[in-house]
Structure 1
Amino acid sequence: MIAPKIYSHKYESGLTSQIVLRPNFNQRFFGIIVDFGSADPQEKPGSAHFLEHKLFAKPEGDLSHQFEKLGADVNAMTSFNETMFYCSGIDQNNKLIELLFRLVGEPYFTKENVAKETPIIQQELAMYQDDPSWAIGNNLMIEMFDQSNLGIDVAGTKESIAAITAEDLTQVYQENYLPEKMHFIACGDFSEGQIQSITSLVDKLQKKYLDSSKKAKFSDLQEHGKMRDLVIDSTTDSNMFGLGLRLQNFKKVLSSWELAQILLEIMLESKLSVMSPWFEQMKQAGLVTNSLQISANYTRQGNFVTILGLSPKSPILIDQIKKEIVKPISSKDLVYAKMFFEMQKKEWLAQHERSLNNIPFLAIEMAEGSLDNEDSYANLRNLQAMSFEDYQKFCQSLLEGCEICSVSLRKGK
């Protein structure tokens, strides 16, 4: 396993940076990630996502056009605990970095441009709501985390989006877009001179654009939903369903959130994937035909797993999944479970090797890891060295006290 060469730096303001070397690649990637997302404290749900949209607005118009003039792509994304702004191009390194810091560091919120953005974000949310998987996922999150910022969609609600003002965005920005909550990353083929130039330029720009006078705040307040089994009416003929597993704090079991996430996904895939003996039994019983979508997640406000699928008899299948999740591995399935674990360790290693050739993916993963104090390479080494017995023990501990809820659609209502 080969890790790329990384130049790390921490500035006096608290801003951190990484320059990740990938020799012989033409593409250069630059990003700024902020340790603030939709689940973090904000009076009006969706403010973090709205803020991400409006930071592109400048007095002369949409700043993305300036990136395009340089032949670069630019984008942004908001997740539960993070917001990231990033661009990629072939050359013009310094100009791209300057534009990126101006994008993040020069807010321009007016009553007019906020009012113009409101229906755009509402329409974006409405598009998601037409998808049956959104209805399942949204209701699962509310069942697990109630009407908290984690329970509500990243974009907020139609009502909360309409209530957000320029003053709200300014307050949220000033409280959260602070250098000690931000990380800069560059990834590509850079010479020694370019590395020094980038490090110096970032120092100059963060002093120009970022306010280091305020102290950053974090919150891990956790809300608890009702954890019910719901059946909701649907205007479609979809027979989609979902389960939500609310879990204890991963750090009580492992020092790494990321490694706990990986182990849980491996364990659940071993029990429920198309390769498992259980899936074959469910298939023969006519309960399932397509693979299940399994995702483990960690946030400051709570750790959880979602499982989505399709079934003509979802109540029966949901019950079978619940039993399979908590059931100990039987002696007859032990050989398969060990084989699957070893196979998944190889798959994660292969996935890591593939990621080295995908500059944006590699940079975003490393930037996210930097905020969580995660070392993906150390986690991968620990996974490769882990015994099946330790893997079993960790998974049992991670599932201890697990609560499960479910949501399924009632067709044609």
Structure 2
Amino acid sequence: MIKPEIIRKDFPSGFKAQVIRRKGFNQRFFGIIVDFGSADPQPVPGLAHFLEHKLFAAEEGDLSLEFEKMGASVNAFTSFNETMYYASGVKNVGPMIDLLFKLVGQPYFTDENVAKEIPIIQQELAMYQDEPDWILGDRLLRGIYGDCNLAIDVAGTRESIASVTKEKLQAAYDENYVAARMSFVACGDFTDNQVKTILRQARKLSDQYLRPGKPQKEADLVPFLPSGQDWNLIGGEVPLFTAAIPLPNFKKVLASRDMSQILLEIMLESKLGAASHWFARARQAGLISQPLQISVTYTRQGAYAVLLGMSSEAEVLLDQIKAELAPDKLFSKKQEMEMRQLFEIHKRSWLAQTVRSLDNLSGFAVEMAEESLDEEDLFANVEQMQAMNFADYRAYCQELCEGASINTARLLEEDDQ
């Protein structure tokens, strides 16, 4: 795997910048990531996401229109522990960077524009709440983590959104949008002089717009509520089910949480994915027709795996999943050959996907921006994965799953009661 040239700078203010050189690409991508997301402490749930919306507002109007005028596209997202603003285009590199720093560094909160945004975000949340998988996921996370921010939708709740004021936004902005919690990334085909110019511009603009402040603290893990529970929800039109597995040992096993996430996803795919013997048997028995959706999420506040599927025999299938993931069966002797083979297959697949991801300019730039906050190293993980043998993989997965429990939820039609 050929590592792209990456030029990094850490400025005295704590602000970080990196330029990733990708030869042959016409598109240029620029982003600013903030070490603050929906699961982090804030006056009301959803305030980080509300900030993401309102930073596009300026006294002269919507800043997204200014990006459009220069032929650039702009967007943003909020996740559990970060918020990112990014723009891409072919021309107007300097003005695009100027405008991006203005977007994150010059807030414009008024009673009027905050009040106008409240129903917009409430409607956005309502759209998600109508989705069956959202209903199941909300029930599970609240059942595991209670009413903490980790269990609440990134957008917050209808009530918390309605309680947002310009004062709350300003307080959250002042605490979190500081130089030491922010990082800039540029990705594209840049000359040596362009790289130097971009880094000088990033330093000048960060000094102009961003105040000093302290880096984000590592949070304590959110304590679990009584776990290993099963919930049945009424009113489903499709027989969806989901299982959530909180992972209390996640922070303790490997220095790289990205690597822990990768190994657990490989293990779950090997046990329950489309290529597994378990899935073949379940499909042959008519219990399931489509592969499970499998993901592992980690945050400062906690980590968990989620399995999502559809089956008219969900209760039977969930019992089978629990049995398959029981500690004594996770890497049983009977399944060792299959698990070895699937580890090698998924390992090669992950390595190939990682190589291909380098050609997705925006996706790769976002990944590198996230790593700048999390102190991760994609290329070190590639080397570690290439060298990893089955015995180490098995030991890591067993330790990562220690103390985990399985919580489930399924949607039932009313006549299924």
Task: Tell me the TM-score normalised to structure 2 length.
Answer: 0.97
Distance 1:137 1:376 in 2: 29
Contact 1:266 1:341 in 2 (8 A): yes
SS at match of 1:91: coil
Query: What does residue 146 of structure 2 align with?
Result: 146
Matches within 5 A, 1:359-374: 359-374=361-376
Question: Cα offset for 1:244?
Answer: 0.6
Question: Cα offset for 1:412?
Answer: 4.1
Query: What does residue 313 of structure 1 align with?
Result: 313
Question: Cα offset for 1:144?
Answer: 2.0
Question: Cα offset for 1:349?
Answer: 1.3
Question: Cα offset for 1:251?
Answer: 2.9
What are the Cα deviations for residues 14-66 of structure 1, in whole angstroms up to 9, with x where unaligned? 00111001011001000000000000001200000000000000001110001
Distance 1:249 1:35 in 2: 23
Query: What does residue 404 of structure 2 align with?
Result: 402
Contact 1:230 1:407 in 2 (8 A): yes
Query: What does residue 380 of structure 2 align with?
Result: 378
* Structure 2 unaligned regions, length at least 5: none
Query: What does residue 240 of structure 1 align with?
Result: 240
Distance 1:196 1:328 in 2: 52
Distance 2:252 2:230 in 1: 28
Contact 1:220 1:300 in 2 (8 A): yes
Contact 2:249 2:399 in 1 (8 A): no
Alignment size in residue pairs = 411
Contact 2:35 2:216 in 1 (8 A): no
Contact 2:45 2:156 in 1 (8 A): yes
Query: What does residue 207 of structure 2 align with?
Result: 207
Contact 2:142 2:152 in 1 (8 A): yes
Query: What does residue 218 of structure 1 align with?
Result: 217
Query: What does residue 340 of structure 1 align with?
Result: 342
Distance 2:249 2:192 in 1: 42
Distance 1:175 1:208 in 2: 17
What are the Cα deviations for residues 290-317 of structure 1, in whole angstroms up to 9, with x where unaligned? 1101110110000111111001011111
Contact 1:237 1:412 in 2 (8 A): no
Amino acid at match of 1:273: G
Q: Structure 1 79/238 Cα, relative in aligned 2: closer, same or farther at 3 Å?
A: same
Amino acid at match of 1:231: N
Matches within 5 A, 1:1-400: 1-212=1-212, 214-218=213-217, 220-221=219-220, 222-227=222-227, 228-234=229-235, 236-326=236-326, 327-400=329-402
Contact 1:51 1:169 in 2 (8 A): yes
Question: Cα offset for 1:329?
Answer: 2.9
SS at match of 1:150: helix
SS at match of 1:270: helix
Amino acid at match of 1:387: N
Distance 1:112 1:237 in 2: 40
What are the Cα deviations for residues 205-224 of structure 1, in whole angstroms up to 9, with x where unaligned? 01110001x33442513142
Distance 2:391 2:407 in 1: 29
Contact 2:240 2:410 in 1 (8 A): yes
Distance 2:93 2:249 in 1: 41
SS at match of 1:403: coil
What are the Cα deviations for residues 101-150 of structure 1, in whole angstroms up to 9, with x where unaligned? 00000000000000000000000000001110110111121122110000
What fraction of aligned residue pairs are identical, expressed as a percent? 52
SS at match of 2:186: strand
